[in-house]
Amino acid sequence: MISGLPGIVFRLFRTVWRLIDGARRIALNLILLIALLALVAALMQPGPSVPEGAALLVRPAGSLVEQSASEPSFALLAGDGEEETALPGLLEAVRAARDDPRIGLLVLETDDLENAGLSKLGELRDAIADFKAAGKPVLARGERYSQGQYYLASIADEVHLAPDGYALVQGFARYPTYYGKALATLGVKIHTFRVGEYKSAIEPFTRADMSDEDREATRLLLGGLWEHFRKDIVTARKLDAARFDRYVQGYHDVLKAAEGDSARAAQDGGFVDRLSTRGQWYAAIRERLDETGDGEDFRHIAAGNYLSAIRRARVEAPARIAVLVAQGAIIDGEQQPGAIGGDSLARLIREAREDGKVKAVVIRIDSPGGSAWASEIVRNELELTRRIKPVVASMSSVAASGGYWIAAGADEILAEPSTITGSIGVFGMFPEFAEPMGRLGLTVDGVGTGPLAGALDPRQPLSPEAGAALQLSTEHTYRRFLGIVAQARKMKPEDVDRIARGRVWRGAEAVEIGLVDRLGGLDAALAAAAGRASLKNYTVTWPTPQLPPMRRVLQQLLAMEDAAAPSPASQFVGRFSADIKVLMSWNDPRHVYAHCLCDAP
């Protein structure tokens, strides 16, 4: 027994600790209780119903993604501010509304849409175009249009813009931040090992400017994507191509002619049909619906509610096609939705393969690549699966480098015309911090039992033997990559090498050179999988990696705070943080990567 002053201090410490521990338990129990109550409340509410003669309201928010990183069942905890919108749900809703006699109009509002790849917007535009082809009108409005927002809105029959808004169509650009000089100033050495002169993913960390090879490839890529973008808008808006170019290339003169009024300039240029306040916008919708009223009320159902209603009424077929989403960077190990964990995605593929109800698998890829090790783990599971049931790869905005490595495990590959793919190449990168540590007076010393023992310690200079080993490993992985693609595409390795070497291709080009079988989106991939499995009636399922329940709750609670519109300064900091995050996430056990470090416009 402790007595005296030490005993008093001990008892005081024990009491404080018990109070802290009790408070922690109460807080966690309250969090769990709130989550359970929210779920119960959601389950007790009657499902949404579809009004007769209603408009389908499509209002995508945040980033347009293949699969939300959030749990849908906890969405109400985050309030109204959604940070992600899943593209497949929107496509399903619009496709169903096309043939639904209760839906007579589609209302598209783009103000909350922040980020979306060109191919994703293209798929949504195609679905809306099919809706229009059924004889149903589409109205779109934005307070102001970013380039992506306008591309989506341009498919509408009638495009509205706020009287003080603008339509920003400026072209595509790629301007990476180069850290090579800064790292050299700090004394950080980045040892690189690569195969392929177009494999530019490591250049931001080793150079101060863009290489000639990367500049050439980027110019061709962006030029092709811009032509696709331009053609879609010119066709949808029935614009003369010269008029479109005059608006984009000579915007100063266009704006000057409109006396600085950007909304009027957009209307004069043929980019929008009407300038409308919110009140006028809702009045125009009610006029189309042939109903009276005022304010913001009109007969409608939001896309998410409509999706819930039609799914609730649907009779599921016993046969299933599993759509597995490979979204984000490819990282070794277990990862939650939003990143591709080699082990977690491989497990989902294995479960789909062993599930007798699943008759085919679609792997939906939206990834610039990452760990070569993890990519091969996933591809191998797809290879095993296709021996038992069909596997179709559906490329979204980006399916390059490691993303293409995964696709090579499928029976058939489909891509959008604007998909960024290819980048067949590998690199190794190893940072060395010996010099900056030495400046701080920090030294490393010790012994090892072999020349490579401790060689991959970033605190020490990289030995020539270790550097040579990494280069040999990189070259071997590239030959392995070529062999995998050659076998999958029935080509010779030397023919693959000519279109590889890190070169990035658009989906339309990838079909021409044999890397992709045909053009098509998710619907086309599902139809291809169903055809290969001889299915006429089937249910589509979307298996996802499961996080522990408490971690899911905490994840949602952390997402409850609404994000403000980013300032230019915060965008710079965010871009810097994102680059560093990418660098820190590279965890391939051999330090060899298949990553294109390319962003979809």
Give a three-class secondary structure readout of 204-263: HHCCCCCCHHHHHHHHHHHHHHHHHHHHHHHHHHCCCHHHHHHHHHCHHHHHHHCCCCHH
Low-confidence ranges of the chain (pLDDT < 70): 1-13, 35-36, 38-47, 70-82, 546-601
Angle (CA) 237 243 245, round 5°: 105
Q: Please give the pLDDT value at position 162.
A: 97
Q: Please give the pLDDT value at position 322.
A: 97
CA atoms within 13 A on the CB side of 49: 4
Q: Please give the pLDDT value at position 587.
A: 58
CA distance 95 to 91: 6
Sign of CA dihedral 576, 223, 230, 412: negative
Angle (CA) 198 204 207, round 5°: 85
Residues 190-237: pLDDT tens digits?
A: 888 888 787 888 888 889 999 999 999 999 999 999 999 999 999 999
Q: Please give the pLDDT value at position 27.
A: 74
Question: Is 189 annotated in the active site?
Answer: no
Percent of the chain predicted with pLDDT > 90: 62
The structure tokens listed for 102 are: 């209760």
Cβ contacts of 496 within 8 Å, gap of 6 or more: 424, 482, 485, 486, 489
- CA quadruple 285, 289, 290, 293: dihedral, nearest 10: -50
- Helix (H) / strand (E) containing 564: none
Q: Please give the pLDDT value at position 595.
A: 64
Cβ contacts of 352 within 8 Å, gap of 6 or more: 322, 324, 358, 361, 385, 543
Question: Is 577 annotated in the active site?
Answer: no
Strand order across the 158-161 sheet: 274-275, 158-161, 138-142, 103-109, 54-58, 300-302
The SS3 assignment for 412 reads strand
Per the rule left: phi > 0, alpha: psi between -120 and 50, beta: everything else, 367 is beta
Domains located in the chain, CATH noted: 54-167+272-312 (3.90.226.10), 316-444+455-562+582-595 (3.90.226.10)
E-assigned strands of 507-591? Answer: 518-519, 539-541
Nearest to 601 by CA among 418, 432, 463: 418
Sign of CA dihedral 295, 297, 303, 308: positive
* Residue matched to tokens 């401790």: 454
**Is this model's pTM higher than 0.85 or not?**
no
Q: Please give the pLDDT value at position 278.
A: 95
C-beta atoms surrounding 463 within 10 Å = 14
The structure tokens listed for 274 are: 């009407």
Strand order across the 369-371 sheet: 189-195, 426-432, 592-595, 369-371, 330-331, 340-341
The structure tokens listed for 49 are: 């119903």
Cβ contacts of 154 within 8 Å, gap of 6 or more: 125, 140, 232, 233, 236, 237, 271
The structure tokens listed for 198 are: 């177009």
CA distance 549 to 333: 20
Of the residues 120, 136, 189, 199, only one is catalytic, namely: 199
* Residue matched to tokens 């589609």: 106
Cβ density class 508-529: b for 16+ within 10 Å, e for less:
bbbbebebbbebbbbbbbbebb
Q: Which residues pair with 366 in a beta bridge?
A: 327
Residues 504, 598 contacting (CB under 8 angstroms): yes
How far is CA 269 from its chain centroid? 32
Q: Please give the pLDDT value at position 77.
A: 41
Backbone angles phi, psi at 194, to 5 degrees: -150, 160
Sign of CA dihedral 516, 521, 525, 528: negative
Residues 374-401: pLDDT tens digits?
A: 999 999 999 999 999 999 999 999 999 9
CA distance 216 to 205: 19
The average confidence (pLDDT) of the chain is 86
CA distance 351 to 332: 19
Residues 513, 500 contacting (CB under 8 angstroms): no
Q: Identity (one letter) of the amino acid at 483? A: G
Q: Please give the pLDDT value at position 13.
A: 67
CA distance 142 to 153: 8
Of the residues 119, 401, 418, 423, only one is catalytic, namely: 401
Cβ density class 143-157: b for 16+ within 10 Å, e for less:
bbbbbbbbbbbbbbe
* Residue matched to tokens 């905890």: 77
CA distance 292 to 13: 70
Cβ contacts of 65 within 8 Å, gap of 6 or more: 84, 85, 86, 87, 327, 366
